[in-house]
């Protein structure tokens, strides 16, 4: 899927599960702005089966459901939308160990397979990596500024 934005290729990003969780907790946080940009087709989101599974598991955890403003219907709709609207990658690329937390490799794999511009995360160990094969790994705040600048061009 290649979407164009103002005669330019749209930014493509892999979004860490923690960004979705933060957006589910309150709509007044920066992660919710990233989901809004994706829903408004201002951003291409890359996802793999492993990432989709993790998001589904985490947003339905009782602990998250208690503090979230999303209804179960909204959670199910998000999963359907992610499966339907995102740029899907197989998540099958094998990487040598880059991170102490091996389950986070799936974000790097999806980014490489989907030729992402960015990985957006709230996890310090991912952000501290800085980049992988030209794919920048940034915080939510950094990414929102990048997206804002991109949309103004």
CB under 8 A, 24+ apart: contacts of 147-153: 147/11, 147/34, 147/37, 147/42, 147/43, 150/5, 150/8, 150/11, 151/5, 151/6, 151/42, 153/6, 153/8
Total count of domains within the chain: 1
Distance, CA of 7 to CA of 135 (rounded, Å): 22
Q: Please tell me the distance from the alpha carbon of residue 71 to that of residue 60, in angstroms, as a whole number.
A: 10
CA distance 66 to 94: 36
Show the domain range for 37: 4-152
Q: Is 147 helix (H, G, I), strand (E, B) or coil?
A: helix
39: domain CATH number?
Answer: 3.40.50.1010
Q: Over its length of 153 residues, how does the chain's per-residue pLDDT go in tens digits?
A: 444 333 356 899 999 999 999 999 988 889 999 999 999 999 999 999 999 999 999 999 999 999 999 999 999 999 999 999 999 999 998 877 666 667 788 999 999 999 999 999 999 989 998 999 999 999 999 999 999 998 887
The single-letter DSSP state of residue 45 is E
pLDDT at 121: 96
> The whole model's pTM is what?
0.89
Residue matched to tokens 């991170």: 99
């Amino acid at each position: 899927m290649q979407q164009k934005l103002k005669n330019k290729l749209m930014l493509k990003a892999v979004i860490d599960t923690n960004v979705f969780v933060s957006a589910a907790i309150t709509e007044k946080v920066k992660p919710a702005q990233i989901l809004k940009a994706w829903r408004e087709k201002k951003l291409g989101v890359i996802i793999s089966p492993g990432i989709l599974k993790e998001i589904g598991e985490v947003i339905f955890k009782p602990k998250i459901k208690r503090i979230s403003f999303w209804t179960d219907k909204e959670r199910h709709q998000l999963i359907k939308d992610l499966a339907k609207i995102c740029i899907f990658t197989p998540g099958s690329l094998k990487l040598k160990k880059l991170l102490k937390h091996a389950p986070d490799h799936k974000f790097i794999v999806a980014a490489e397979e989907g030729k992402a511009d960015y990985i957006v995360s709230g996890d310090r160990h991912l952000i501290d990596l800085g980049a992988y094969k030209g794919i920048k790994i940034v915080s939510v705040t950094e990414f929102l500024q990048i997206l804002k600048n991109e949309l103004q061009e």
